[in-house]
Amino acid sequence: MAILCPNVDLTDFERRIGYTFQRRDLLTRAVTHKSYAHEARHEDSRHNETFEFLGDSVLGFVIGDLLFHRFAELDEGDMSKMKAYLVSAPILAEKARDLGMGDVLMLGVGEEKTGGRKKDSLLANLFEAMVAAVYLDGGIDAARKFIETSFAKDIAAIDSENLLFHDYKTALQELAQGKGLPLPNYHVVDEVGPDHDKKFIVEVKVGTLAARGEGSSKKEAQQQAARHALREAGA
C-alpha cells in the first residue's frame, strides 16, 4: 500500500510556496514520487520524473538569466560556476526543506521506510518538479517569480561577497570526485554567541581530511570549512 503522508494540507503548502494552482492535478503530480505511483497502480497516479526534466530546464534558464543581468561584467566561466553552485542538488534540497516540500511528498512504503523524505536527491528532484508544475500552471512569469523568491537571499549573498567565496564548496567537491573520494560531509559542531550575533562552527570531512570553518550563517561557515580543507589538501 502506498503512503500519502498524514495530515497533508496542499492548501497550506500553496501558501508556503506563495503560489495557488489553478490545476491542482499538476501540484499532485509534482509531489508524487515514482515509488508511490508504482505501488498505487491506477491511472491517476502519475509520478513526477518528467516534471523533474522540465523543471531542471526552466530553473537553469531563469537562474542563467538572473545571473546574466546581475553580473553582466563577468565572463562566461564565472557565471557558469555561479549557476552550477545555485542549481546543485544540495542547494535545491535545502530550498525544498525550507518550504517543507518533504512533508507533502507522496512515497511508496519502501522509500518511506528508508527515509526518503530527508534524502537530498529526492528533495532536489522534488524542487525541480515543483518548478515545472508552477510553469505549466502559470507560465514562465509565475515560474520566474517562484524561483526569484526562492533564490533571492543566495543571489544577494553572491552580490555582496567576494565571488570566490562561493567557489570553495564546489572546488572541494570537484577535488573529492577527482580523487575518487566520498562527497564532502558538512555538519554544525557548535553555535556560539547571542541570537543577534550568533556564530556557527561547521566541520567538513572528505575521506580522512577534516577541517572547520566559522561564519555568521551555516552557509558561510560551510564555505570557510571548505576553504580550509582545500588549503589542507594543498589545492
Residues carrying an active site annotation: 56, 128
Q: SS3 helix, strand, coil % of the chain, rounded to 5? A: 65, 10, 25
Cα separations in angstroms, 161 against 32, 83, 89, 231 = 38, 16, 22, 20
**171 touches 235 (CB < 8 A):** yes
Per DSSP, the three-state class of 145 is helix
What are the CB-based long-range contacts (under 8 Å, 24+) for 144-147? 144/62, 145/18, 145/19, 146/17, 146/18, 146/19, 147/58, 147/59, 147/62, 147/63, 147/66
Cα separations in angstroms, 33 against 50, 75, 92, 164, 171 = 11, 38, 17, 37, 32
144: left (phi over 0), alpha (psi -120 to 50) or beta: alpha
C-alpha cell at 111: 522509500
